[in-house]
Amino acid sequence: MSTRVQRAPDPREVAVFRSDGVARYPEVPPYHPSERYPEYPFGSNVDASPNVAYDAVRESLALLGLDRENFGTRQWNPLGAIVGPDDFVVIKPNMVRDFHEEPEKGIEAMITHGSIVRAVVDYVYIAKGGRGKVVVCDSPQNDADWDGLWAAFHFDELLDFYGRVAADFDLQVYDVRREAVRKRHGVPVERYQRPGDPLGYVAIDLGDDSEFAAVPERTGRLYGAEYDISETAGHHSPDRHEYLVAASFLEADVVINVPKWKTHKKSGITVWTKSVIGICGDKNWLPHHTEGTPSQGGDQFADDRAKRKLERRVVALTKRALLRGGPVRLRAGSILRKLGTYVFGDTNRGTVRSGNWHGNDTIWRTVLDLHKCWIYADRHGVLKDAPQRRFLCIVDGIVAGEGNGPLAPTPRHDGIVLAGTDHGAVDTTAAMLMGFDPDRLKILTRSPEARGHDLYRVPRERMQCRSNVAAWDGPLQDLSEPLDWLPHFGWVGFVERRQDQVPAEPVLSAPSPD
């Protein structure tokens, strides 16, 4: 097997491969390819049934021009410019949750499919010369069941396969959450410890370099992953903005991000940029929205009607009561949640709350802060001037998710895989392919103005799309024939590129006296 290829990938380029066949994942784990490609290292371990996912990963790497000289030969090593034999590689799929809000839709549109992970691991295996340690890890949502996710990804079959055919290759899988919760009717009833990241955690305080340093008046109103906001407030004050990062992501020489392509209720889209949430060991350190209506300086709701102000007060009192409720909180919480849905509306049926709309002015700050940690923090959590690790992103869009994403999306069978090495280029390409306007996505527009560290490498006019679809191949600004994705209902009429549907963006003002 060849060593590292010296020609580095171009951050301006994003590969977009679309399959001609049926956009369906293979059914039999560990998801062998259906063809014995020249570079394939595992001989006769192929499957007669089609594997669209494996083919699409391979073709996307070829479209990026990685190790172009050796493509089609046994020596092809597409990740050789990114991964060296002695590098510690972390592969981060999207493992958000093991169940869909509407069970009949399944979870294929929610999580990265195991067949995509298998193809990525194979090419990392080639780049590392068939030896060394590789870790697959993520931080799922707090209420995700790890056993359910393990079964959905078919990790038993994947680990068994590599254990049989690659004795010197150490593949491991981690859930990097420190703890998880069990919920009933949306109410947490049990908190339990997880084994967590074997390498531990690093608390990183960005201080004045945090995007939240520009809005000190929000102290005490930043809402995290659970209804007890005191923990979030403890890590975000006017002079302290702290994140708990799983050490595996800081120890890594290379991170290969393998997100699912979806819409998102708080950020508009989730591809590479938003997926950085998964490097955290504790989601309650992460501000998700700011409590209050727009006139109160919040983004919890989309309007200032008296009903929303009343809801905020009622919800705040209810949460405080539940925190003191002890064993009775399960019954009480369930009843109150159902009553609240009846009175104030269902957040999965068109009612905007919890920052689930285009006016969310909080989540982009969290996401950009985390990217500073992911890119620039050394293994001790000290932010440096230069990037500390190399990145590649391979996006699973074989079955993508539109509408009420990320937890209740409607599947889209588009058969697409994107690949690139710059988060801004990958996400801008994804947004334009969706038929969305990148200028309406704060996770993209605020990146050039990030405090403290540079998160903006490629201006849009220099981005290039490399695709087997003619209308998508060329300068990104010339992309035509985009797909017609349905946004989350809190973004409908705001994020689409059809300008006649785009209203003015609401301005978050300072809190009012009430």
Residue 507 has pLDDT above 70, yes or no: no
Domain extent listing, the chain: 13-291+356-501, 303-351
Query: Within 10 Å of residue 398's Cβ, how many Cβ atoms?
Result: 28
pLDDT tens, residue by residue, 36-62:
999 999 999 999 999 999 999 999 999
pLDDT of residue 502: 41
pLDDT of residue 185: 66
What percent of the chain has a predicted confidence (pLDDT) above 90?
81
Residues written for the chain: 514
pLDDT of residue 309: 65
pLDDT tens, residue by residue, 71-103:
999 999 999 999 999 999 999 999 999 999 999
Cα torsion 68, 72, 74, 78 to 10°: value is 40
> Phi/psi of residue 401, each to 5°?
-130, 120
pLDDT of residue 350: 76
Residue 344 has pLDDT above 90, yes or no: no
pLDDT tens, residue by residue, 448-483:
999 999 999 999 999 999 999 999 999 999 999 999
CA 223, 215, 267, 175 dihedral sign is negative
Structure tokens of 386? 């230069």
What is the average per-residue pLDDT within 442-452?
97
Long-range contacts of 310-313 (CB under 8 A, 24+ apart): 311/340, 311/344, 311/353
Average pLDDT, the chain: 90
Residue 486 is given by DSSP the state P
Structure tokens of 292? 């209050």
CA 326, 332, 338, 342 dihedral sign is negative
pLDDT of residue 478: 97
Listed range (313-317, 439-443, 494-498, 503-507) with the worst mean pLDDT = 503-507
End-to-end CA distance of the chain: 68
pLDDT of residue 1: 42
CA 382, 383, 387, 390 dihedral sign is positive
